Chains A and B, each alone.
Chain A
């Protein structure tokens, strides 16, 4: 199949794909192909060129904003995606982030000798990891005095979530500012170069199909600044056959058939060159099983005639190895232990589930000039 390269045909192709889910009233929809990582778009029939790049990026940003508005205006939507297992994973992630950021704050405060330490969290949500950092600092006699010198910036498009976050942060008499109704990219664009010491970004990078987002983070981080990342990893939707298999597994054969016909047999043939390790294979299975379980749950809760919420499944997920590589390609390194002597930091990436790549936690630092090569 000839890949779409022109702007108009690219947009049309994408529209045809996502409309299948919309008109089919699926409980979980594909959403736009432009939410996928740009390097997997060829598998879906699109080649990113100078002609269509801007349109793809523009649409990706538009859809991201639509999603944010939708979740802000329909908070119950998120309940459909929540599981107890997921909640425990979030809790775990916060514990990791809290502990590690506390250690970083101590180390950076020592290095900065009296100057303020700035910690940005985006998106902060209603239960920010920052409050876990504050709990850790409060419960560490060596860190408690650092509250005065630490400023947390909580950034979230959803103002009501930040209102809740404020009430939790108020416990600690710590310095914090909330940036409500603000997109992360806007917040970053307003920050001077090298002005932020720590950026916490959890369960967020899968919303960024263009890896140059990391360049924005790189710019604003100080030379000893650290990126604290955690999230879901999967390569499930690196190939459209998995989306079709998912649809068939939940009984949506018609939608699967339409997608297969649209993309054609050539694109639907899995790429035999892709090699995944066991943990990555298991991550894909867990991702698949999670979506299937949620689909069945929503079907049970909503029934055939209910209004279906806008929940889109395709996103820029990647394996943790690929994430690490992407960080390195954009001037970061995950090998940071030696840069903070005395700080009790773990070696990352660290996979939270035994035998699976599905969720991992990472610390990344700007590479020194000589390392960038």
Chain B
């Protein structure tokens, strides 16, 4: 049976209903557009038509760009992480950095960066997408510093730290300037104060040899960002994506305990239940059906969102960020990467990419017993390139 099409008007109507329900709560939902398109479609029981999809893409980017405009939001999120007894981005940064450096070393062993530099007169270009204060790249530089072989690569590398927020990028600038590797501005690094789409959009295809991101891609509702990454990565360019993964936004039943904790009235919860056809679904039943490690991931995410709401409640309402995000299960992300010509299959990588020949795992769980934090190593392989399309 074909799915019914969801028009732009219907999307806006349901979006408005949701925002009305959550208005005035400890944390508001924000737009449905913040979620992954697949989850929006599940919630609305249909398929977004082209206009609706375009609308989602625009609204999502606008919504996320406003999130971290104030330092106090960062501190609030950090307190929530602590209160929920979670590890924050530091662990993701650290382990992502480990993989970045391992791959840089592997790439160099195949074709020395110095040789490439002499021949092509250009450095190995590495992008940090959503660099924020530079913590991931700082972790990369520290790993490099701890490794004699990696240190020798620095003169032939250039890191691009990309983030639209001027406040956080200032931090990144200071960090780069004071880092113990003695990096040179413009030669070894460049701070790009703009959105990833704008920066990548301006570069020619195959510009970057490596792209990494930590805890950023769960802010992209629409998968077109993956196509952009594929296009701007070199023929054997490597993508290292570290992120938080969960399926809590995949079913509206998961949101009910959040609404309850955030002070929604029974009337509002019933309205939510009705608008989004929750039916007999219950979040606890959904959790119980999951494998242990996925259940733990969802529980941890719910705990975090609730802790975040309690912290946000102490903040000026104008600064509070919404709670909906585009987290998704790792399997779906991997599938989308594949759909956008990024190779994630280990055997294929081992067979077709010289830097992955000895790779034992390319999807890595950062913590035991939970799938909430994972790192995906993917790459372009020769002959796999999609030629330029509009993204």
Contact = CB atoms under 8 A, between A and B. Distances in A.
A95 B367 contact: no
Contact of B366 (A96, A139, A346): A139
Interface in B156-188: 171, 174-175, 177-182
Contact of B175 (A88, A98, A173, A346): A88
A147 to B, nearest CB: 9
Given A139-B98, A164-B82, A346 B368 contact: no
A107 interface: no
A341 to B, nearest CB: 15
Contact of B135 (A91, A96, A99, A172): A91
A126 B182 contact: no
Given A135-B366, A171-B369, A354 B182 contact: yes
B178 A356 contact: yes
Given A92-B138, A171-B367, A354 B175 contact: no
B301 to A, nearest CB: 15
A353 interface: yes
Interface in A352-370: 352-356
Contacts of A131: 87
A88 B146 CA distance: 17
B146 A135 contact: no
A22 interface: no
B364 A139 contact: yes
A63 interface: no
B139 interface: yes
A367 B255 CA distance: 59
A98 B370 CA distance: 21
Contacts of A301: none
A327 to B, nearest CB: 21
A171 B178 CA distance: 34
Contacts of B133: 84, 88
Contacts of B94: 95, 98, 132, 135-136
Contacts of A91: 90, 93, 135, 139
Given A84-B133, A135-B366, A164-B82, A96 B146 contact: yes
Nearest to B361: A141
B146 A346 contact: yes
A138 B180 contact: no
Interface in A63-101: 84-85, 88, 91-92, 94-96, 98-100
Interface in A122-167: 126, 131-132, 135-136, 138-139, 141, 164, 167
A340 B173 CA distance: 37
B229 to A, nearest CB: 24
A contact patch SS = helix
A229 B347 CA distance: 43
Given A92-B142, A132-B94, A126 B368 contact: no
A88 B85 contact: no
B91 interface: yes
B284 interface: no
B366 A88 contact: no
B353 interface: no
Contacts of A171: 87, 367-370
A126 to B, nearest CB: 7
Contact of B95 (A94, A139, A167, A352): A139
A36 to B, nearest CB: 28
B71 interface: yes
A110 interface: no
A141 B146 contact: no
Contacts of A212: none
B333 interface: no
Given A96-B146, A126-B82, A354 B135 contact: no
Residue with the highest number of chain A CB atoms closer than 10 Å, among B74, B94, B360 = B94
B81 to A, nearest CB: 10
A184 B87 CA distance: 26
Contact of A350 (B85, B135, B145, B179): B145
Interface in B344-375: 360, 364, 366-370
B65 interface: no
A234 B91 CA distance: 29
B179 A354 contact: yes
Given A96-B142, A98-B94, A164 B85 contact: yes
A346 B91 CA distance: 21
Contacts of B74: 84
Contacts of A268: none
Contact of A352 (B91, B98, B180, B364): B180
Contacts of A167: 85
B171 A353 contact: no
Contacts of A141: 360
B147 interface: yes
B71, B90, B91, B368, most chain A CB atoms within 10 A: B91
Contacts of B95: 135, 139
A98 B95 CA distance: 11
A296 B375 CA distance: 42
A354 B90 CA distance: 22
A172 B178 contact: no
B142 A95 contact: yes
A344 interface: yes
Contact of B178 (A136, A139, A350, A355): A355
A351 interface: yes
A88 B179 CA distance: 12
A95 B139 contact: yes
A161 B182 CA distance: 36
A168 B179 contact: no
A172 B91 CA distance: 13
26 contacts: A84-B171, A88-B133, A88-B135, A92-B139, A92-B142, A94-B90, A131-B87, A135-B87, A135-B367, A136-B94, A138-B366, A139-B95, A139-B98, A164-B85, A167-B85, A168-B85, A171-B368, A171-B369, A172-B368, A173-B368, A344-B146, A346-B145, A351-B180, A354-B182, A355-B178, A356-B178
Which 6 pairs between the two chains have the least Cβ-Cβ distance? A167-B85, A353-B178, A346-B146, A91-B90, A95-B94, A139-B95
Interface of B: 71, 74, 82, 85, 87, 90-91, 93-95, 97-98, 133, 135, 138-139, 142-143, 145-147, 171, 174-175, 177-182, 360, 364, 366-370
Given A84-B133, A138-B368, 6 more contacts: A88-B171, A91-B135, A139-B95, A164-B82, A353-B179, A354-B182
